[in-house]
């Protein structure tokens, strides 16, 4: 199994509060990704990183920001959480970019009340 952990694994928060989710990898992979999973939508890419301090937007980036100050950590921040951001969030990693398989972390279940 790829060495990917996510924290917290479960979180309940209130509308309007900021939330930060952490993804940590021990594989020294260059690429890291954040997805959200919602019923009927499969997984959708929020943001990804192709190196320290290098990030780009995905399909559903509005309301989210990311940071990557170290190779092993990729943070996802919900600047002001809304109920529509209730979802399961998955982090993924890949050694390189487009040609490589992505391996996923265990997921974080977020409920915004």
Which pair of structure tokens corresponds to residue 20? Answer: 């930060």
If the CB atoms of residues 14 and 41 are measured against other proteins, the closer one turns out to be 41
What span, in angstroms and rounded, lies between the C-alpha atoms of 44 and 46?
A: 6
CB 78 within 8 A of CB 19: yes
Residue number, 3 or 107, with CB nearest to other proteins: 107
- Structure letter (DSSP) for residue 99: T
Question: Residues in the site for other proteins, rule: CB under 8 A?
Answer: 31, 33, 40-45, 48, 50, 56, 58-59, 88, 90, 92, 97-99, 101-104, 106-107
Nearer Cβ to other proteins (7/80)? 7
């Amino acid at each position: 199994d790829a060495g990917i952990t996510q924290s917290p694994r479960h979180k309940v928060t209130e509308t309007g509060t900021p939330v930060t989710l952490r993804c940590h990898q021990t594989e020294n992979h260059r690429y890291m990704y954040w997805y959200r999973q919602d019923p009927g939508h499969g997984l959708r890419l929020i943001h990804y990183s192709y190196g320290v301090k290098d990030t780009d937007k995905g399909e559903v980036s509005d309301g989210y920001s990311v940071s990557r100050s170290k190779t092993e950590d990729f943070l996802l921040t919900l600047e002001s959480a809304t109920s529509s951001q209730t979802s399961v969030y998955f982090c993924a990693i890949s050694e390189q970019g487009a040609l490589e398989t992505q391996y996923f972390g265990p997921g974080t279940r977020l409920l915004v009340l």
